[in-house]
């Protein structure tokens, strides 16, 4: 009986220790190279705007959003370009995007906070 329990204990410790060691080995291994996933053109533009403030990418993105069904999607990228990278004309784009968003038929009127943001963007755009 004791031999049987000892055998079970040894087996459990070996299996548990093996799993633990495999986990430690996986952690210590060098990271594998991952295949880079190709981005579509629009995603590539978005990434360049966010990561390095690429003006050409922003302008192309702005033009593509102008003719899209969702022109207000430019708002985020306009704010990034204006605030993060100091591109002043993006303030005007941001205010236009806000106005476009609140111009949809079923939208509530612009609240006071959003209106103050809108006016701040207009003010920065006019400098």
CA nearest neighbour of 113 among 98, 123, 127, 103: 98
Per domain, the residue ranges of the chain are 1-34, 41-126
pLDDT at 73: 86
CA 61/CA 68 separation, integer angstroms: 10
Using DSSP, state whether 48 is helix, strand or coil: helix
pLDDT at 16: 45
pLDDT at 38: 76
Residue 84 DSSP symbol: I
pLDDT at 9: 44
Q: pLDDT tens digits, the chain, 127 residues: what are they?
A: 555 444 454 444 444 444 455 554 555 555 566 566 777 888 888 989 999 999 999 999 999 888 887 777 899 999 999 999 999 999 999 999 888 888 888 888 889 998 999 999 999 999 8
């Amino acid at each position: 009986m004791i031999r049987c329990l000892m055998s079970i204990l040894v087996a459990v410790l070996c299996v548990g220790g093996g799993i633990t060691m495999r986990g430690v080995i996986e952690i210590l291994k060098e990271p594998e190279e991952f295949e880079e996933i190709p981005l579509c053109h629009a995603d590539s533009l978005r990434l360049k705007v966010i990561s390095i403030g690429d003006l050409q990418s922003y302008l192309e993105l702005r033009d593509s959003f102008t003719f899209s069904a969702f022109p207000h999607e430019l708002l985020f990228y306009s704010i990034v370009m204006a605030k993060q990278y100091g591109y002043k004309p993006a303030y005007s784009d941001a205010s236009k995007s806000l106005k476009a968003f609140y111009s949809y038929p079923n939208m509530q009127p612009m609240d006071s906070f959003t209106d103050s943001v809108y006016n701040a963007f207009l003010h920065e755009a006019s400098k």
